[in-house]
Homo-oligomer: A and B are copies of this chain.
Amino acid sequence: MAAINKQSLDQSRLECDTCGAKSCCIGEGLTNEQLQGLKKITTNHGPFQPGQAIFKMEDSFKSLFVIQSGTVKIETVSPEGSNLVDGFFFKGDLIGMEAIGGEQYLHDAIALEETWVCELPFDHVESLCSFIPRLQHKILILLGQKIRHMNETFLHGRYLSAEQRLLLFFQMLCHKNVITKNGPSRSLTLPMPKGDIASYLGLRAESLSRALGKLQSDGIIFNRGRTIEFLDIDAVLKLACK
């Protein structure tokens, strides 16, 4: 793992009870006493700068990580040598679950923005689960959700056109509250390069670019560098295209 320094960010945001990721963390719903037990086994790390690794494939699997703030991509290297982006994760997401039961991590986890994470040593979590049924339940639920999410994204995504995949991606961002839906602007500055999005969607950068062009000429979005403006958010959410 990369060298770690604690600095800058308001320390209070890293405490469980005041953590920004509190509501979606695995500790959600625990009593204060239980939360203290959980807090004992965790450690905070950050800030990771864009491009820095939170963990790498070569690292042996020891911990899960909750993203307290920032954005992270996970990626592997394909047999041909190019990078395959397997997922994007945001505040409150738990990463590293793919490695449970394995020796090493399955991906590199790379920060896309300045990012803080909370480390949960897995064997400690497991022990704690035996004493806190609610925690065990929560972990199982999260794993089930992860499976369902992969199922939707990858299984059903593969029958969609480039345009539909892109819309699905925007929907995901919306669901993660990354797009400011309420304001009048409804815009978004992508935390990741477009090449990463293309890879994640199983497309070439060129195809993604054309899909973006198509949506723009249809008046659904306005695409300017890393900023996307959503002119017709309903069209995006309906996936009614094509």
Contacts and interface: CB of A to CB of B under 8 A. Distances in A.
Interface residues of A, number: 35
Interface in A78-124: 78, 84, 86, 97-102, 106
A136 B128 CA distance: 12
Contacts of A139: 140
Contacts of A145: 101
A30 interface: no
Contact of A148 (B78, B98, B159): B98
B156 A154 contact: no
Interface string A50-90: 00000000000000000000000000001000001010000
Q: Is the interface of A mostly helix, strand, loop or mixed?
A: helix
A202 B140 contact: no
Contacts of A127: 133
A137 B147 contact: no
Tell me the number of copies of this protein.
Answer: 2
Contact of A106 (B136, B146, B148, B159): B148
A32 to B, nearest CB: 21
Nearest to A154: B154
B151 A86 contact: yes
A130 interface: yes
Interface of A: 78, 84, 86, 97-102, 106, 126-127, 129-130, 133, 136-137, 139-148, 150-151, 154-156, 158-159, 202
12 contacts: A84-B156, A86-B155, A97-B144, A98-B144, A100-B143, A100-B147, A101-B143, A102-B148, A106-B151, A150-B151, A154-B155, A158-B202
Given A84-B159, A143-B144, 7 more contacts: A84-B155, A84-B156, A97-B144, A129-B129, A130-B136, A150-B154, A158-B158
